[in-house]
A and B are shown apart, each in its own frame.
Chain A
């Protein structure tokens, strides 16, 4: 059973960089076959893709966040990470890591999710 767990600070000051890590257990990121993804949800709102990474390091970023987002992978630790720079209160949200499929019928279908972590941007 694949499990994902987010970790990182729950409070970030405005203009600083939000940094989160997702640790994957029960499966290897380097085995391929999936995109490793970050999704966020503003309080009381819907879901928003931030981006994803393949084990090789290739990435996709949401164009609305692209200038501020970096997603990286550490296959030796079976982890992938999110950095979001120059944060404002508008970046306050629950951040989820998730596994997304590669196959045609399941492309970007999110079958395993972390529990989510609330990140608040405030001074």
Chain B
């Protein structure tokens, strides 16, 4: 089974910061990786799929990159509404999550 390891599990950042979250797969998964954002008490929201394709309606400050075993989600300029937990997903496997909090 494929394992997805996210790092860091927690990060503290300020509005306007550039933030990068990494997701590492235990074996190569081509570009079959998605990213989700989840706010407290809400369902996850799809941000990116196929590693780098932005879901319709998602702000362009979000971007994804990578292939094979290493992937990144980047928020170019963190906004107040971006403080949330982020998950990567490959098919039936989710990463453990990265919580982004206000510094």
What's the tally of chain B residues with a CB closer than 8 Å to chain A? Answer: 21
Q: Which residues of B contact A105 (CB under 8 A)?
A: 31-32, 49-50, 53
What's the tally of chain A residues with a CB closer than 8 Å to chain B? Answer: 20
Query: Is B87's CB under 8 angstroms from A47's CB?
Result: yes
Query: Is A96's CB under 8 angstroms from B43's CB?
Result: yes
Query: Is B43's CB under 8 angstroms from A49's CB?
Result: no
| Closest chain B residue to A49, Cβ basis | B92
Whether B11 is near chain A, meaning CB under 8 Å from some CB there, is no
A-B contact count (CB 8 A): 49
A 20-60 binary contact with B (CB < 8 Å = 1; else 0): 00000000000000000000000000111100000000001
Tell me the complex Cα distance, A113–B34, Å.
15
Query: Is A109's CB under 8 angstroms from B43's CB?
Result: no
Query: Is A106's CB under 8 angstroms from B43's CB?
Result: no
Q: Which residues of B contact A2 (CB under 8 A)?
A: none
Q: Which residues of B contact A109 (CB under 8 A)?
A: 34, 46, 49, 89
Interface residues of A (CB under 8 A from B): 46-49, 60, 62, 96, 98, 101, 105-111, 113-116
